[in-house]
Amino acid sequence: MTLQFVYTQQDFITEVCRGSDKMAPPPTVFDSAIRAGWTDRMEKGLFRYQLSALETRVLPGPYGFVAQLNIKRGTERRKPQEILSIKQEFNGKQFNFNKISPDEVLFEMVKGRDGSPALPDDGLAPSPSKMFVMINVSPLEFGHCLFIPDPSRCFPQILTKSTIRISMESVLLSSDPSFRVGFNSLGAFASVNHLHLHGYYLDHELKIESIPVEPLLPEKGLYLSQEFPGGFVFYAEADTVEKVAEVVCQVTDFLVDNNVAHNLFLTRGCPPYSCAQTNKDCQLRNGVRIVIWPRMACFGAKEESAFNVALCELAGHLPFKNKEDYERSTERDVVEIIQKYLLPQSALQKLEQQLINHLRPCDPRTKTLIHP
């Protein structure tokens, strides 16, 4: 029987700081469930390789890229499926998460009523939007797991509102600012066409947690990153998760409808400032930053020798496949590789305007756009 992790909004951690002088908060029940379950599966040999502390260095330069040497992920991971379209249908004959060993499942997330206990011995009634958390057998980092909404429903790799909401909630359930969640669309280095997101711990600060942003449509919470690589930025705290999840889903639906590949990354971050704030303000991690990068689609393209450009690389975390590239690559080298997968500036600007028009509310009486 699958263990259930029952949580409510009362379990969200609403006060987190980066680099605080205070003692780090203790792990939450959510953190402990992932860490203990993940470590147990590693000790049982359920992963494709043993993952010890990874050799890590921060590349000199303003972007603060965090480089890690993870050779075995590049050599031992399952061969990616052939992807031909961003809207490709689910194919039950190919590998999917209904075919994994039950031992790889850590728990099922269930949002209960206020006052419900966490991790009960016997399960509650199934949630209308089930979310299974299981290990990634080819881990990027400690605690690398997969969030899979009701695998039996066989959703293709296209985000849904409830999936976005639960992924945001998972970040808020952790007291550790190093816990991240991300998504690769088809054509953006998703390797399995079965709806899933990645979650893992990376104990290094990333620039996207605090970089200034430019308002695009602030009434909808839409901002644009002012630093490379440019992406759409949203921010949510505990009481705005539902509202922000709805708009984020409108954005990802728009990208899918227009055949635009994309990566998404969620991390603890500070509110969306348009310019530098005080050091104290920039250390706040009370909410979740959600960054969406529209990018060039890759279908059957040759992989880069150093690293693939997907959710974690765009966020500034670089898992290198070989020691030579890991040791020799500079920030300039990394920027040149990433740049090849980003939309040209003219295409990004056109997409920005289309997205603003798509999200801007209309007057219901005249069906015309309402301008601020």
Residues catalogued as catalytic? 196
Closest CA to 128 of 156, 96, 161: 161
Cα(264)–Cα(241) distance, integer angstroms: 16
Residue 71 dihedral angles phi and psi, to the nearest 5°: -65, -40
Q: How is 186-198 classified by DSSP, letter by letter?
A: TTTT--SSS--EE
DSSP secondary structure code for residue 277 in this structure: -
Cα(334)–Cα(58) distance, integer angstroms: 12
Cα(106)–Cα(134) distance, integer angstroms: 5
Cβ neighbors of 327 (< 8 A, separation 6 or more) are none
Cα(169)–Cα(248) distance, integer angstroms: 14
Cα(235)–Cα(221) distance, integer angstroms: 7
* 60 C-beta neighbours (distance < 10 Å), count: 10
Helix (H, G, I), strand (E, B) or coil at 165: helix
Token pair belonging to 164: 């976005």
Cα(156)–Cα(357) distance, integer angstroms: 27
